Amino acid sequence: MARPRSFDRDEALQAGVEVFWRQGYAATTTDDLARAMGIGRQSFYDTFGDKRRCYLEALRSYSRGEIGRQIAVMRGLAPLDGLRALLRGPADTEKARRGLGCLAVNAFTEHGGQDPEILAALKPSGDQLEAAVCDVILQAKTRGDIAATLDERRATRAVLTVRAGLMVRAKAGASSTELREVADFTVDQLSPASA
């Protein structure tokens, strides 16, 4: 008869997210994960299967939570302010965390977008963010904050590409001032006077 779990699975997974976020997939060992989770190796295997399955679950959990938070912030503001908040996210993160970048972007850069399971783990949240950004851009067009002739799909892809670049730059040590300047410049380019 199996012993009942004596730890909180969600808390253990969050500890795993932190390890993968700090170290990446390749540099993380099963022992690193079990130690961070405060569980034994067998409990790790019984709960998460193996390192890869834990990683995929960590990516899904991180991206759902992080993207949901970012969308809520963006939608809680006027459209251009929401886009600015989304892009300023890496700059506004405390310095110690800023150097970690974004776990999802880190996964893409570590694996080169070639791993179908990683792509599948991140796609739902990525699609959700893309749809939300496009909606905000459409709202801004309706309000006259963005030129009516601006192609919202292209603008959405541009905003998301800049966002990913800002996260990579944050991980590389860019200052919050530099990151804010790029975020503000990007949003300013969407205004009718710039189009």
51-69 pLDDT, tens digit per residue, is 999 999 999 999 999 999 9
- Which amino acid belongs to residue 123? K
> Residue 155's domain is classified under what CATH number?
1.10.357.10
Residue 84 resides in a domain: yes
Taking 50 as the threshold, does the pLDDT of residue 1 lie above it?
Answer: no
95 compared with 137, residue with greater pLDDT: 137
The rounded distance, in Å, linking the Cα atoms of 162 and 183 is 8
Residue 183 inside a domain? The answer is yes
Model pLDDT, residue 193: 64
**By three-state DSSP, how is residue 175 classified?**
coil
First-to-last alpha carbon distance for the chain, in angstroms, is 68
The answer to the question of residue 90 being in a domain is yes
Question: Is the confidence at residue 114, as pLDDT, over 60?
Answer: yes
Q: Is residue 1 a part of any domain in this protein?
A: no
Residue 129 lies in domain: 63-188
168 falls within a domain: yes
Residues 6+ apart with CB under 8 A from 167: 90, 101, 102, 105
pTM of the model: 0.90
Q: What is the mean pLDDT of residues 164-174?
A: 94
Give me the pLDDT at residue 3, please.
56
Average pLDDT of the residues in 148-157 = 95
With respect to residue 73, please indicate whether it lies within any of the assigned structural domains. Answer: yes
**Identity of the residue numbered 86:** L
- The number of distinct structural domains making up the chain is 1
- Determine, yes or no, domain membership for 101: yes
| Contact between residue 55 and residue 13 where contact means Cβ atoms under 8 Å apart | no
What is the pLDDT averaged over residues 114-139? 96
Distance of CA 185 to the CA centre of its chain: 21
pLDDT at 130 > cutoff 80: yes
> Per-residue pLDDT averaged across 5-32, rounded?
95
pLDDT at 123 over 70: yes
d(CA 59, CA 21): 9
Mean pLDDT of the chain: 93
Domain assignment present for 38? no
pLDDT over threshold 50, residue 76: yes
**pLDDT, position 42:** 95
